[in-house]
Amino acid sequence: MRALVWLICALALLSGLRVYAATVRTGVTLLTQPTQRSVAVATLAKGAQIEIMSRNGLWSEVCCADACGWLRITAISRDSGTATTKTSLAALQTGRDGAGNAVSSTGVRGLDAEAIKVDQPDYEALVALRQWQVTPGQAIKFAEEGFLEDRSLAALAQPVDESSSPHQESRMFPDPDRISTSRPTKKKRVEASDDDW
Amino acid sequence: MMIGETWSRRLRFFTLATLLLVCIAFRVFETHAQPQASSEQEAGEEIVAVYLGAAPLTQNIDLNRYVSLVGTKVALKSERSALTWTFGVLASGSVNAFSAPGGYILVTEGLLGMLDTEDELAAVLAHEVAHIVRQHHWKIIQKQQQASELVAKMQGNMKTSNELFADMNSLFSDMMTRGLDKNAEFEADRDAIILAANAGYDCTAIFSLLTKLDDLKGSSESSSLIFQTHPSPAQRMDALSAAVSPELDSCATASPAAARYQKYVKSVL
């Protein structure tokens, strides 16, 4: 059994499991499961340092110095710091967001600012591009083949602490009963608490 | 004889005057012939042509068609569903996605290779659709056009058509290489969540997408255009976290179509 644990740790080290440094926006309770109805594990003070291990919908599994558990993503502020490689049995037990495959521009010059400024426009390719348009009917049919079901969610309001955007005059969504107004009402931001959500 | 000479002189004068007026009118027309975008569609086409000059379209027609099908479905949930939406895949290994006024959206093969699910693809395309619906780029172009005309009038002369064309090209390339202000990007992210959700996709896939972008820091892609033209992934996730509401619980799950991505993208790239 001990050998198995060491083997798992070695594999984890080689695989380079990635976690993300972050802090807690406000005092929150760490939960055992990604649901408000689960058991509390620990209480974190505003500004507490955590590491994000994985995400499940609007919940993230995090670890602090003493415990691991689940938080709403709204309670988390990601640091600008770098992802770190860490191995732990707790990390091994959780799922992953997907480490992502870093793509490098291999050989062929990447699509960079220089290329955009220097290269000549290609109008023939623009004509060729149009032949790949699809009709709304084709798109809807493809969605149905994937068993996608439409929803009617309302637009998200601009958070209070974001400065005004000059682009709010345009309507975004077609449902007149549920779209935001041209100037979305700024909700008063309520500090998240254990009773929220 | 005298009368004939008079009429002859008058005729010559009239002819010369007419010719002079025609030349002046032509010159005025030329300077007023707006080589800059007279419409949103034209501006979009100019911008897309520049991108296509920098990187070719993919040869994989099925791949491009798949992106078009997903993107068009997302766009149909917006206020501008009546636009003719055009999606393209660029044969570039760099991680990038672009939108242009009038309904044009381009993504790179590099970006597609980074993603894992159709939900994540829908999130990317929804973000670009949002820029077009909100007319983020077009409004900047319009303001710049008005500013250029005002400056020209104040200077008391009209710019030549070549100078106006150069002005617009300069604006386009600046916009394409420096991006929009951060609030426009945050707004597009918020809109993307709802667009993708209303099209049937996982509304939280944008978080895994941004996490993957964050992972690129330190790699050769860290200087990619996508980082020059957008706020950092961490900033974007923080902004989204502040905006999400409990109603999103209903869409915070992988869609039934998520795994299709393996067949249409992962197996061919």
How does pLDDT run across B176-212, given as a tens digit for each residue? Answer: 766 788 899 999 999 999 999 999 999 999 999 999 9
pLDDT tens sequence across A156-174:
998 876 554 444 446 777 7
The one-letter amino acid at A10: A
The whole-angstrom separation of Cα A180 and Cα A166 is 15
What is the nearest CA distance from A68 to chain B, expressed in angstroms?
Answer: 20
CB–CB of B102/B41 below 8 Å?
yes
Of B78, B114, B242, the CB nearest to A103: B114
Q: What is the pLDDT of residues A104-161, one digit of tens each?
A: 333 334 566 666 666 688 899 999 999 989 999 999 999 999 999 999 999 999 887 6
Option in B54, B200, B244 nearest A150 (CB): B200
> Does pLDDT of B175 surpass 80?
no
Q: What is the mean pLDDT of chain A?
A: 70
- In three-state secondary structure terms, A72 is strand
ipTM score here? 0.80
Residue B159 tokens, joined? 């710019």
For the cut 50, the answer to whether the pLDDT of residue A93 exceeds it is: no
Closest to B202 in 3D by CA, of B70, B103, B111, B62? B70
Q: Does A102 touch chain B (CB under 8 A)?
A: yes
Residue B50 has pLDDT above 60, yes or no: yes
Residue B129, both tokens: 């659709």
Percent of chain A with pLDDT over 90: 32
Average pLDDT over residues B51-65: 93
Which residue of chain A comes nearest to B219, CA vs CA?
A102
pLDDT digits (tens, 9 = 90+) for B68-98: 999 999 999 999 999 999 999 999 998 999 9
Question: pLDDT above 70 covers what percent of chain B?
Answer: 80
Task: Name the amino acid, one letter, at A36.
Answer: Q
A8 CA to chain B: closest CA distance, Å?
23
The answer to whether A119 faces chain B, any CB pair under 8 Å, is yes
B85 sits in the region (left: phi over 0; alpha: psi -120 to 50; else beta) called beta
Tell me, yes or no, if A161 comes closer than 8 A to chain B by beta carbon. Answer: yes
- Residue A172 is nearest to which of B94, B104, B191, comparing CB atoms? B191
